[in-house]
């Protein structure tokens, strides 16, 4: 059996040794291999009150709790670490899945056919051991289709997961989810939108809106009043975003399939009070991770890509307006140095806000004390970065 602790590359270790030191890097690695101990949900306060949803979830056996009065829409459920019996698993047929599927299974997700790599001799109804390529056991389940079906059809539920390493509630089939009352969203992501402080009657645009976590959060803080525009370039992601908006009964949103990097050629300048920029990143902070690596060339390319979104955001936002820039990564290149570019080249400055739950940013940019970093081993959250920027003028 391969332990996930063997899966981290030298570039990652070298980078974070220099950034955090050896002891902190070891703690970071350990934390990244597990999900946070709290599974967060956001209540759609346009449809329900947090205490009502908490009571409803408890009636179905989900021990949900309110988080903090500063973020009343945030609730959470404790994630329980469980053990898997390797001896029992060794007697079962195996379904081997890709890394991303394995990471999802770790916290209770079912296995769908596209994630299956091998399933030799597996028949519908078999109890199976679910393993990542390399042999690491991530869960036990019941096959919903044969291995041959999974590898030829490439769609549909392949394995219903029965036991995993971490037990978190599966709520996507719950009444609360289907009625649009809840949205699974990490704590730092909610803090980011709170820091942006969208208000009723404002004009807001999200340049990277899908799947819709920050956008729908902003919409509810605006009480559904104002102009809200959602942009994404992927047809599949736009469809997913529209489905969430429909589920959550948020109808007054203009959704556009566009490449946001060129929106300044189409939309009026100095029009929006608030802009959300949550661009593609190296995703170092996403948990759990069964393979941990870092590609510095890719990080550099991503940072240049991210700057393009901020350049456009700075043109679309009004003087005195706010831009939320956030990532789920921990590299300086994609975080503080992108903010430094925004300050030096885009006529923006770091804005103070009242939602500080993480640590200050690293001191390579003016106003770093008002930036926020969330470290998995310190804050028990995904790794995350938040900057609120204000346009000068």
Task: Name the pTM for this structure.
Answer: 0.92
pLDDT of residue 76: 98
What are the structural domains of the chain? Answer: 86-167 (2.30.130.10), 186-391 (3.40.50.150)
pLDDT tens-place string over residues 197-246: 999 999 999 999 999 999 999 999 999 999 999 999 999 999 999 999 99
Mean pLDDT of 248-264: 97
pLDDT of residue 274 exceeding 90, the answer is: yes
Which residues lie below 8 Å from residue 185, measured CB to CB, with a gap of 6+? 40, 41, 42, 213, 217
pLDDT of residue 6 exceeding 70, the answer is: no
pLDDT tens-place string over residues 314-324: 999 999 999 99
Q: Bridge partners of 116?
A: 97
pLDDT tens-place string over residues 20-79: 999 999 999 999 999 999 999 999 999 999 999 999 999 999 999 999 999 999 999 999
Percent of the chain with pLDDT over 70: 98
Tell me, yes or no, if 346 is annotated catalytic. no
Kindly name the residue from 205, 328, 386, 389 that is annotated as catalytic. 328
pLDDT of residue 1 exceeding 60, the answer is: no
């Amino acid at each position: 059996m391969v332990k996930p602790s063997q899966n981290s590359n030298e570039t990652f270790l070298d980078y974070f040794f220099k950034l955090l030191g050896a002891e902190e890097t070891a703690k970071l690695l350990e934390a990244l291999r597990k999900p946070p101990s709290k599974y967060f949900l956001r209540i759609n306060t346009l449809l329900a009150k947090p205490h009502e949803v908490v009571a409803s979830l408890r009636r179905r056996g989900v021990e949900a709790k309110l988080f903090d009065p500063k973020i009343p829409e945030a609730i959470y459920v404790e994630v329980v670490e469980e053990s898997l019996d390797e001896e029992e698993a060794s007697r079962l047929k195996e379904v081997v899945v890709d890394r991303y599927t394995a990471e999802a299974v770790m916290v209770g997700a079912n296995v769908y056919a596209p994630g299956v790599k091998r399933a030799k001799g597996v028949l519908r109804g078999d109890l199976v051991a679910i393993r990542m390529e390399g042999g690491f056991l991530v869960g036990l389940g019941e096959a919903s289709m044969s291995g041959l079906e999974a590898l030829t059809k490439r769609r549909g539920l392949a394995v219903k997961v029965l036991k995993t390493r971490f037990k978190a509630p599966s709520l996507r089939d719950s009444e609360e989810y289907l009625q649009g009352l809840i949205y699974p969203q990490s704590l730092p992501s909610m803090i980011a939108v709170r820091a942006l402080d969208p208000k009723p009657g404002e004009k807001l645009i999200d340049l990277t809106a899908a799947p819709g976590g920050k956008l729908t959060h902003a919409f509810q803080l605006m009480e559904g009043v104002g102009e809200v525009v959602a942009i994404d370039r992927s047809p599949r992601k736009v469809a997913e975003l529209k489905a969430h908006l429909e589920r959550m009964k948020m109808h007054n949103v203009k959704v556009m399939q566009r490449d946001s990097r060129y929106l300044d050629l189409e939309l009026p300048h100095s029009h929006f009070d608030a802009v959300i920029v949550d661009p593609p990143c190296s995703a170092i902070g996403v948990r759990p991770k069964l393979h941990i690596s870092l590609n510095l060339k890719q990080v550099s390319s991503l940072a240049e890509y991210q700057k393009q979104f901020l350049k456009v955001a700075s043109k679309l936002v009004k003087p005195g307006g706010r831009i939320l820039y956030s990532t789920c990564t921990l590299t300086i290149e994609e975080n503080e140095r992108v903010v430094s570019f925004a300050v030096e080249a885009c006529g923006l400055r770091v804005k103070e806000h009242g939602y500080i739950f993480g640590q200050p940013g690293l001191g390579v940019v003016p106003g770093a004390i008002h930036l926020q970093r969330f470290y998995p081993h310190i804050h028990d959250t995904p790794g995350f970065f938040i900057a609120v920027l204000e346009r000068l003028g």
